[in-house]
Amino acid sequence: MNAILNPTPPVNDPAQAALAALARAGLRAAEDAQRANTHMVVAENGKVLHISPQDYLRTLQAPSAPPAPADGTQNH
């Protein structure tokens, strides 16, 4: 998620450009919700959640878990 919060220079890949645009829209929505003192409605894992803008921003800033190895062993 760190790449979302720290934008990189423009890329020629349309998929990456679309993801960057969605991330910026989410950040703008969180800022608007904070100003309006209201909750955000987000979808996560197929469920609709009502969360505070602060919680939304915290989830964006949380480091992602490292990917699990393909052989099923755990990283230590």
Alpha-carbon distance 60 to 41, whole Å? Answer: 15
- pLDDT, greater one: 47 or 4: 47
How many helical (H) and strand (E) elements, i.e. helices and strands, does the chain have? 3, 2
Mean local confidence (pLDDT), 28-34: 91
Domain-located, residue 68: no
Domain-located, residue 4: no
Domain-located, residue 74: no
Domain-located, residue 35: yes
Owning domain of residue 20 = 13-61
pTM assigned to the model: 0.56
Domain-located, residue 50: yes
The burial of 62, by beta-carbon neighbours within 10 Å (0-12 exposed, 13-18 middle, 19 or more buried), is given as exposed
Asked if 49 and 41 touch (Cβ cutoff 8 Å), the reply is: yes
Domain-located, residue 1: no
Q: Mean pLDDT score of the chain, rounded to an integer?
A: 78
Percent pLDDT > 70 in the chain is: 68
What sign results for the dihedral spanned by CA atoms 36, 39, 59, 16?
negative
Q: How many domains does the chain have?
A: 1
Q: Looking at the predicted structure, is the pLDDT value of residue 76 above 80?
A: no
For 38-60, the pLDDT digits (tens) are: 999 888 899 999 999 999 888 88
